[in-house]
Amino acid sequence: MTRRAVITGIGVISAAGIGKEAFFQGLRSQSPTPPLVVEDFDPAPFFDSPKEIRRHDRFAQFALACATEALEQAGDLQCDPDRIGVHIGTGVGGLSSIETQVLVNEKSPRRVSPFLVPMMMPNAGAAAVSMRYGFTGPCETTATACAASTQSIGSAFNAIRWGRCDAMLAGGSEASNTPTGTQGFINMTATSSAGISRPFDLERDGFLHAEGAAVIVMEEREHALERGVDILAEIVGYATNADAHHITAPSPGGVGASACMELALADAGLTANEVSYINAHGTSTPLNDANEAEAIMKVFGNPGPAVVSTKGVTGHPLGAAGALEAAAVTLSMQHRLLPPTANYRTADPDMAPIHVVAEEQTWEPGISISNSFGFGGHNATLVIAPT
């Protein structure tokens, strides 16, 4: 029998809102003013002591907080811990810990924290979640830039449908809005000089560097039905591939992106005309948006599905972006509502014509795609279905 993987819990931390409901309402509002950091996050409820907090980088704190919210919604998983895994991606990992300890090292190398390595390592978020809850299944981290958390969710999906696990916590976390991290993106001219994220808009001029995290609980469908838990959505397809073209620029004509979407649809056993909604990677950079639009046009034609980029509100939380967007798709299904592509005003006449949603609209939930495309040419696509 084919094993199916469903979503039964969501946890979110974002500049658009802390907690899944605040996050979704934030997607419906005006984009916040940079810097896009999570100002009101308090890690204290998720740790036993201030000392324990200090031993976890901010990105790991985010991961644990999101996992806690997701598990509260999913309830008692009633699984053998050996069959519950954790797969949490990140683009950068513990950058703030690295920066802090570099300054300490300038004063005296002996003052460097003995916890620096476990705080900076990219797998610290996944490790923190597995240790807190005693999940002894596979515990892994994907660090493929902006595709990281979509690939993490895809790998978790495979672990369930291929029979390795009965439940997985999957997602991504990022807290790289440090002086070095922020300046690095500014110096490579990837960020908006106007301080506005305008995905797919004629005036787009770069992304807004942001922090955030999201974790979803996925479990085998029959197991969820037996528990009587609410099923929020189902992952029905996944694919990943590589552009093999350039370290930061996408392959011309969206070749890699279009192939990835086609592979994901084939994996789901679906055709392009069955898709009603695409949550685009949509970073607001000139090259990414143009190439993604061309890829969407190639796969879906014109008119194609409704297209939304939530990065007009969330900014670009790098390795956490895909998890936040998978959460946004699932919440859109629950609310039967598509949020707007914030700051989208004027279509680019030189861009392939796609149906960008400029204003919030009601929606009859249908087959949806969530795209992530990362530096290094990493592409990943999830296919998500309503229940």
- Among all residues, which ones are annotated catalytic? 146, 281, 316
Name the helix (H) or strand (E) containing 51.
helix 50-54
The pairs formed by 74-77 with CB atoms below 8 angstroms and a separation of 24 or more are 74/8, 74/9, 74/217, 74/219, 74/229, 75/8, 75/9, 75/227, 75/229, 76/227, 77/166, 77/167, 77/217, 77/219, 77/227
- Of 278, 214, 234, the closest CA to residue 23 belongs to 214
Please report, as a single letter, which amino acid is at residue 210: A
Secondary structure (3-state) at 219: strand
Please report, as a single letter, which amino acid is at residue 302: N
CB 56 within 8 A of CB 122: no
Sequence-distant (≥ 6) Cβ neighbours of residue 328 within 8 angstroms: 23, 24, 27, 279, 310, 339
CA distance 149 to 89: 5
Question: How far out from the chain centre does Cα 63 lie?
Answer: 12
What is each CA distance from 217 to 9, 95, 127, 301, 353, in whole angstroms? 5, 26, 16, 34, 36
CA distance 68 to 44: 13
Question: How far out from the chain centre does Cα 371 lie?
Answer: 9
Secondary structure (3-state) at 309: coil
Q: For the chain, give the longest Cα–Cα distance.
A: 62
Tokens of 292: 């993604």
Helix spans in 199-285 (H)? 221-227, 255-268
CA distance 368 to 47: 36
